[in-house]
Amino acid sequence: MLGKFILLFLVWIGLTNSLDIQELIVGAIVAFVVARFFTPNREFDLKLLAIKYIKFIPLFFKSLIQSNIEVAKIVLNPKLPINTGIVKLKTTLKGDSDKLILANAITLTPGTITIELDKNDLYIHVLNIEDENRDVLQGEIVDVLEKGIIA
């Protein structure tokens, strides 16, 4: 419970962007109540969580930068052909929270939106499908980010 409390309290401080005593007291109370009463009684190890996702952050930012450049090219050159579409890709992740992180990371990457996550299938809207080959799309979109999530 202490790990949950600390994480929630740090999120509170980040969201309020204030170190006033009244904000800290309210944040501590809210973090305690949420950590105690609204989360499952599973052991929460903040160090293990940080270690697990430490590889994910640089891979995500690399993907984010590449996608920003690709979308900027499309926006700045309107004559470029755009081939949008929805693709069904597979994930090998087992945990629901890992799948959720993957789906959200795909959505946060410009040019892609995760429409649905159904068991191990991701339905993704892609702004520009340069290659119709599903294996190439699988490698470019899902596999790259999965490497950072798989422990």
Tell me what pLDDT residue 38 has: 72
Residue ranges of the domains in the chain? 2-44, 49-149
pTM for the whole thing? 0.65
pLDDT score for 16: 87
Identify the bridge partners of residue 118 per DSSP, sorted by sequence position: 121
Give residue 39's pLDDT.
64
pLDDT at 45: 67
Q: What is the pLDDT of residue 76?
A: 92
Contact 114, 78 (CB under 8 A): no
- CB neighbour class for 31 (10 Å; exposed up to 12, middle 13-18, buried from 19): buried
pLDDT by residue, tens only, the chain of 151 residues: 778 888 889 988 888 888 889 989 999 999 998 888 776 666 666 676 677 778 888 888 998 899 899 899 988 988 888 888 888 888 888 888 888 888 998 898 898 899 999 888 999 998 887 766 667 777 777 888 888 877 5
Contacts 24+ apart (CB under 8 A), 133-136: 134/87, 134/89
